[in-house]
Structure 1
Amino acid sequence: MKKITLVLSIVLFTIAGAFAQIEKPVTWAYVAKKTSKTEATLYIKASIDNRWHIYSQNVKSGGPVKTTFSFSPSKDFSLVGKTTEPKAIVKYEDTFKMNVSYFEDQVIFQQKIKLNKGVTAVKGKVEFMVCNDKQCLPPEEVEFSIPVK
């Protein structure tokens, strides 16, 4: 009888653990490409699971948390302009009672930098919010380090 109880307990905990998985519908990838001896472009790619979306950097206040990039200051490089993004999907969302700009499937953000040193690593973080048609997950911050060679 004790063995049956133990086996049932293990099965129940395994099933409960499977349902308690933390959702991570966005994965990030980073690469830098030198465009000259003193300049490079950072490519920051978000791969987004089916039926989910992340928001543009250009969302008005009162809406969802917009995607924001923060770069750690360094003497090795300086930012050139702002982080750019492709044209976003614009749609009215009842949840926020406004038009919002967002991306599905994947999006590649770009940041140009001026190099003061030939080899460096650009460190920073991205804050973003992800939603689908049923729910929004809390905003998340992901740190990154992009080698520039």
Structure 2
Amino acid sequence: MKKITLVLSMVLFTIAGAFAQIEKPVTWAYSAKKTSKTEAVIYLKATIDDRWHIYSQNVKDGGPVKTTFTFAPSKDFSLVGKTIEPKAIVKYESTFKMNVSYFEKAVIFQQKIKLNKGTTVVKGKVEFMVCNDKQCLPPEEVEFSVPVK
């Protein structure tokens, strides 16, 4: 009888662990807007849960993983300049023993492109790290695909 109870308990805890929620405090949305026949802007928006933040693209070495955008090469378009971001919050974080730049609630990154074709799809990935005042989650990579019409 003890063996059956032990086996049932183990099965119950295994099932409960499988349904444990994985924290995903950041969601991404993407869009594009043509600014002329030959240019467009790609918008990459991060919506961040309360009490969490993601880091700027401009974090110095030795700190948290900075947000990085990588765009897949294409004959249909070329990048114009670097991905831009709004002004970030800058604060000292004792975890990293340095001032870091980060965003809370939401942030929209923008990448200008020159179109070599009327319509295209811009593909790539974003790597980012999210933290709150108690913990940091491992860096994450998310792929994106943005149609430009």
Structure 1 letter corresponding to 2:141: E
Gaps of 5+ in 2: none
> Once the two structures are superposed, what CA deviation does each residue of 1:87-132 show, in whole Å capped at 9, x if it has no partner?
0000000000000000000000000000000010000000000001
Q: Identity across aligned pairs (percent)?
A: 80
Query: Alignment partner of 2:109: what SS?
Result: strand
Matches within 5 A, 1:18-33: 18=19, 20-33=20-33
Matches within 5 A, 1:48-127: 48-127=48-127
Structure 2 letter corresponding to 1:88: A
Matches within 5 A, 1:129-144: 129-144=129-144
Query: Alignment partner of 1:30: what SS?
Result: strand
Runs of 4+ with >3 A deviation: 5-18
Structure 1 letter corresponding to 2:44: I
Gaps of 5+ in 1: none
Query: Alignment partner of 1:136: what SS?
Result: coil
Offset at residue 21 of structure 1 (A): 1.5
Structure 2 letter corresponding to 1:73: P
Offset at residue 9 of structure 1 (A): 7.5
TM-score (norm 1): 0.90
Offset at residue 16 of structure 1 (A): 3.7
What is the aligned residue count?
146
Separation (CA, whole Å) in 1 of partners of 2:16 and 2:54: 30
Query: Alignment partner of 1:54: what SS?
Result: strand
Structure 1 letter corresponding to 2:107: V
Offset at residue 15 of structure 1 (A): 4.2
Query: Alignment partner of 2:127: what SS?
Result: strand
TM-score (norm 2): 0.90
